A and B are shown apart, each in its own frame.
Chain A
Amino acid sequence: MTVALWGQCVALLENELSPQQYNTWIRPLQAIMDENCLRVLSPNRFVQEYVESNFRSRINEMLGQMCDSTPPTLRFEVGSLPAANAEPEQAPRKPTSSDNQDKQSSLRSRDRSISTNPDCTFDNFVEGKSNQLARAASVQVAENPGSSYNPLFIYGGVGLGKTHLMHAIGNRIQQHNPKARVVYLHSERFVADMVKALQHNTINEFKRHYRTVDALLIDDIQFFAGKERSQEEFFHTFNALLEGQRQVILTSDRYPKEVKGLEERLKSRFGWGLTVAIEPPELETRVAILMSKAAQTKTELPHEVAFFIAKRIRSNIRELEGALRRVIANAHFTGEPITLDFAKQALRDLLALQAKQVTLENIQKTTAEYYKIRVADLLSKRRNRSIARPRQVAMSLAKELTSHSLPEIGDAFGGRDHTTVLHACKKVAELKGTDQMINEDYENLLRILTT
């Protein structure tokens, strides 16, 4: 009866409301019949309050019209039906207050989100110059948890594999000691759990839980910024774990001392163990990553296609994966094998977008900003090294990233001859091999311009 009754209400509401209102407020609701009470379940209190204040009277009216006898009473709650059971009336959930529902659902989802992901291992982590050190340190920690480097602090830009390494350590620890309690969580989860524990008066249980694990892995600790109470609690958890020789592993987008909004005592403790960086992967590693990801999904990826994608997506591994997934999605749709032309066609919006961003003007502006000089300097006749080197770098970038001819590039750089551009390209290629600084500058600029 519930399904039919609620189903009818929903069908009527779909007709009466705008698609926006229906898809946002009505579609996510679930309903369950408890004796003569129709309980309408919302994903959170915001939705519950909105639905209750905007649709209660209309739903009541509908129920009145649909039922011959006394219509059921209506109650709005936060919660959801057990996922495994699609038939609402067969599995009524015991808790009735929204608080309990909230607590229950948070506990259910927490269980899933505090374990490590078995898919992330050292075996499928592609090693390159950019992540060698971080990987070696991680293996070391995984083999000797609590005794080699504690804490292990891995930092680097987004999408470079920090979380993968973290999970790999956790998985290896559990492989060696299946009884080890390894807890992985995002810093936001730690904060949310603590707030809930305070609300439900279970803070002692919370403390005990986190202070007795064998390894605590917290991702993206920069999101602790400004959350003083959580920082304090984490500080004590951290000390307790270190004293008990339990392993702590942390990741962040930057070096501990540079994380803003974090207490000094935390920053200094984060540096007690080993701090390692992960850099953006170089071309060869990007190719290897693509080949490995393709193999994991049993996709036949020709080397030249991997090279083509890797050459164009330089920013991070996540976007590299995104591009590969786009190519695979098209291949699944058409049933065609992946060739270079196929990949170019599948990624044409992405490449067109890059091409649009990479104009000669943009290269000049970005290079000038990077070297803290003016665009006018790049275009001027000045030949001192602080200007000439950035100019050569910019010309070389223009040759690599645009389809402009050498004379066109020369023209755009203050009317220079095409041989000057050619010389610049040769010089930069040579310097990249001998001067680490120039190489880094060039790679950084490539990334900025193509992200």
Chain B
Amino acid sequence: MSLGQQLPLAIGLRDSATLANFLPGENAPLCHALQQDSHPFIYLWGEGGCGKSHLLQAACHREESQGGRAIWLPLGELLGHGPGLLEGMEQMDLVCIDELEQVASSSEWQQGLFHLYNRLRDSGHRLIGAGNAAPAALGLTLPDLISRLGWGPVFQVQALDDGQKAEALRLRAEGRGMSMPAEVANYLLTHGPRDMHRLFALLERIDRHSLIEQRRLTIPFVRRLLAP
């Protein structure tokens, strides 16, 4: 019998990204800045899995909960649509552009983003950008865009240390109604993947299996799931 057939309907519950379920660690000033509407532009950067996409989606969530309209644009998946996708986006109260490094080889996209930036400024709306490097190191060729990315505060998203990662795992598990003992969190950190993306994906898998098998989270249980 396949996994899906055993599951009740409500099982598709997703962890929606919010600022409340992001463990700030060293990123507390950044989280604070994301909760202010006073910055028209913010840029954040860091290595993969450090939480950039979560933060951008959380910013969208926050904007919407305040009655605003927001969109998250992860460029890696959207490049194929062409920069026309950015038309009219200045109507949004907040536009979050993720994976800016993806447009390094497209001058059309860079121009499109530059023009969107100007239109958002003219409309008094906000933009939060993110990439895997600081603006000048993204490999962009349009200086106008590079300098605009650095106009607001620029934050490097600091990766969590192991203690903070364990806490983030426990926090996320709690959000899903699971109680994760500290030793299980530590076991996952030493035996599971290192980046938070994959750790959270693993957590989702553990959650599904614990529901199906009606098991609490114990080391033998997660060890079995981690086995190849």
Contacts and interface: CB of A to CB of B under 8 A. Distances in A.
B72 interface: yes
B89 interface: yes
B209 interface: no
B153 A325 contact: yes
B8 interface: no
Given A28-B69, A46-B85, A322 B29 contact: no
A105 B88 contact: yes
B21 to A, nearest CB: 12
Contacts of A28: 69-71, 92
Nearest to B78: A24
Interface in A311-360: 315-316, 318-319, 321-322, 325-326, 328-330, 332-334, 346, 349-350, 353, 357
Nearest to A87: B67
Interface in B67-86: 67, 69-74, 77-78, 81, 84-85
A74 B91 CA distance: 23
B149 to A, nearest CB: 9
Contacts of A27: 60, 64, 70-72
Contacts of B134: 349-350, 353
Contacts, number: 136
Nearest to A348: B156
Contacts of A77: none
A319 B150 contact: yes
A157 B33 contact: no
Please indicate which of the listed interface residues A86, A316, A322, A350 has the most CB atoms of chain B within 10 Å of its own CB.
A322
B179 to A, nearest CB: 23
A44 B74 contact: no
A298 to B, nearest CB: 13
A346 B137 CA distance: 20
Given A27-B60, A27-B71, A326-B153, A15 B32 contact: no
B16 A329 contact: no
A45 B88 CA distance: 9
A188 B153 CA distance: 26
Given A109-B122, A220-B144, A322 B152 contact: yes
Contacts of A112: 122-124
A83 to B, nearest CB: 8
Contact of A188 (B16, B115, B148): B115
A152 B111 CA distance: 25
B119 A46 contact: no
A349 B14 contact: no
Nearest to B86: A44
A14 interface: yes
B118 interface: yes
Contacts of B88: 43-44, 78, 102, 105
Contact of B57 (A23, A186, A326, A346): A23
B221 interface: no
Contact of B17 (A16, A19, A316, A330): A19
A14 B16 contact: yes
B32 A332 contact: yes
Contact of A333 (B28, B87, B91, B151): B28
B57 A19 contact: yes
Contact of B33 (A80, A102, A109, A329): A329
A333 to B, nearest CB: 4
Contacts of A451: 136
A20 B39 CA distance: 25
Binding site of A, secondary structure by majority: helix, strand, loop or mixed?
A: helix
A46 B74 contact: no
A158 interface: yes
Interface in A263-315: 315
A180 to B, nearest CB: 20
Contacts of B92: 28, 43
Interface string B14-39: 10110000000000110011001001
Contacts of A159: 147, 151
Nearest to A25: B71
A333 B69 contact: no
A350 B150 CA distance: 11
B217 to A, nearest CB: 23
A325 B84 CA distance: 31
Contact of B71 (A24, A157, A223, A350): A24
A43 B118 contact: no
Interface string B88-131: 11111000000000000000000100010011001110000000
Contacts of B115: 186, 188, 223
14 contacts: A19-B17, A23-B60, A23-B72, A43-B71, A43-B92, A44-B88, A109-B123, A112-B123, A223-B111, A316-B147, A318-B150, A325-B39, A346-B29, A349-B156
Interface of B: 12-14, 16-17, 28-29, 32-33, 36, 39, 57, 60, 64, 67, 69-74, 77-78, 81, 84-85, 87-92, 111, 115, 118-119, 122-124, 134, 136-137, 143-144, 146-148, 150-156
Given A27-B64, A43-B88, A46-B87, 13 more contacts: A14-B16, A19-B14, A19-B57, A30-B69, A109-B91, A253-B143, A315-B147, A319-B150, A325-B152, A326-B153, A332-B36, A333-B32, A350-B154
Q: 3 closest pairs, A vs B, by CB?
A: A113-B122, A349-B156, A23-B72
